[in-house]
Structure 1
């Protein structure tokens, strides 16, 4: 079994189409791709994909195979990235990722942790959505990231804070007269929340409404905060988002806290156990300086 077989299989499964995967992602011919997939299935000994005129779907065997295929590819990518960095040892680097919007809260204290070492290392900073940060950590493109505890990745997480969810609404919405929003206030309103890609936020939101005894259906699921705010204004709906969203609100959108029991979402520092960077080791040794007081017990 060759690595290209795994890459081809994952690309086809994610695209849902042999033709689309061949043309747009793999830049190869569809007959050649089909042959590679058949070779993989022959080696595994079972059908991994079900083919129809609508496209392709994972078989039960394929669903069991794909997570391991992704993990294998991530470990290979991480090994390649580690080797490349080791070949350029002139200056130590630390690549830090932040969930978009959290840079304002966490970049200054992160730099303070490294203050004594900043003259000797290069810090590379980027921001992205939490699932994409987790994948970058697993593939070795980032050394550490401030993100949610994302399932499905072989990473270590240290929770540094728990962030309450808040309600976003148009600045002229009738509920702006309230100091806090009750769960019942969502009834009859257009509800905007995290999509299935935003796994952690989606799960926390569903659990909150279930515990409140409310059957609130998601009208618009998004994982892009800019799109959330656009939908809040255009649909005049309510959104349930982590508190960091307040850092990015335009004048047309305002926020209110939730009344009563408030759901929270964890903010963690994540890193790969396979990462042997000495700068990462140093940062981890000083992580206690970042943990909020209420997280230390």
Structure 2
């Protein structure tokens, strides 16, 4: 079993689609990727992914295998980094975390800023859920992170942008024919809710529904975008998610704005209170400029 097979499997599992994993993350041909996954399943000796016309979902064996695959990849990366540290002179290190779903928007301008202002700096980039990024900031594993405003007095936050929530649904769904979705119509739909893990998003979604007087009983609750898209597709459901998901939607899915009140969720730049790092100070000196650039990019994105 080769490490690349594990990377292929993780990409397909996280995207919920062989096609999307091939095109967006692995930049390879879909038939070749499908063959590699079949070879992996043959070597493991059991089915890891259940395939359908709408994508793939993990079997019970696949879910267990995914955890170990991620760990193996992380350990391989750690081994490479350890070897490089021994072979190369030490460099100042700056670790940045990005909220899942915002990597595409935030990473390019952030790393560009660091390269221009701090040449020779070793930048380490991580991605995760907001609560995990906050914990990594508190423990000193990250210097700065793009995340939600987690409730802790030990972190400081700067506002980056307010992101609207949109309704995500299949392109053939009756509500997709409308320019916007009336939240009152959600009560009659298969509603894909938010689990307690992305707590801030859960509070924003359910708080919005309560304010507009809409009562929903979630058929499922999700904790990541890939799971949300799979459940929407498989059950012809509707989910309320941050608009940043739009760049990840396959052609068979669309997003629609909500009519009336426009609910938003804030993306913040967080860092540990009392962190006296001179690199962090230089980065924060350009934070307002970076936030303005990201807000401009967010407004310029065409609707799906």
Task: Please give the range of the TM-score, normalised by the shorter of the 2 chains.
Answer: 0.5 to 0.7
- Measure the CA separation in 1 of the matches of 2:89 and 2:221: 44
1:142-291 equivalence runs, <5 A: 142-152=142-152, 154-291=154-291
Q: Which residue of structure 2 aligns with residue 79 of structure 1? A: none
- Is the partner of 1:290 in helix, strand or coil? helix
Structure with higher Rg: it is 1
CA contact 2:143–2:271 (8 Å) conserved in 1:
yes
Unaligned runs of 5+ residues in structure 1 are 1-84
CA contact 2:163–2:265 (8 Å) conserved in 1:
yes
Shift of 1:152: 4.1
Range 247-256 or range 162-171, more displaced: 247-256
Unaligned runs of 5+ residues in structure 2 are 1-84, 296-304
1:12-51 equivalence runs, <5 A: none
CA contact 1:138–1:153 (8 Å) conserved in 2:
no
CA contact 1:170–1:233 (8 Å) conserved in 2:
yes
C-alpha distance after superposition, 1:184-242 (max 9, x if no partner): 12021111122111111111111111111111223222111100001101111100000
Q: In structure 2, do the counterparts of structure 1 residues 127 and 91 end up closer, same or farther at CA, with 3 Å as the change threshold?
A: same
Shift of 1:132: 1.2
CA contact 1:181–1:258 (8 Å) conserved in 2:
yes
- Number of aligned residues: 209
- Measure the CA separation in 2 of the matches of 1:90 and 1:204: 43
Normalised TM-score (structure 1) = 0.66
CA contact 1:135–1:153 (8 Å) conserved in 2:
no
Q: Which residue of structure 2 aligns with residue 127 of structure 1? A: 127
Q: In structure 2, do the counterparts of structure 1 residues 114 and 294 end up closer, same or farther at CA, with 3 Å as the change threshold?
A: closer
Shift of 1:100: 1.4
C-alpha distance after superposition, 1:166-188 (max 9, x if no partner): 01001211111111111112021
- Measure the CA separation in 1 of the matches of 2:89 and 2:241: 42
Q: Which residue of structure 1 aligns with residue 300 of structure 2? A: none
CA contact 2:170–2:236 (8 Å) conserved in 1:
yes
CA contact 2:169–2:236 (8 Å) conserved in 1:
yes
C-alpha distance after superposition, 1:28-52 (max 9, x if no partner): xxxxxxxxxxxxxxxxxxxxxxxxx
- Is the partner of 2:291 in helix, strand or coil? coil
CA-based RMSD of the aligned residues comes to 2.2
Q: Which residue of structure 2 aligns with residue 91 of structure 1? A: 91
- Measure the CA separation in 2 of the matches of 1:256 and 1:153: 36
CA contact 2:106–2:294 (8 Å) conserved in 1:
no
- Measure the CA separation in 1 of the matches of 2:251 and 2:150: 32
- Measure the CA separation in 2 of the matches of 1:141 and 1:253: 37
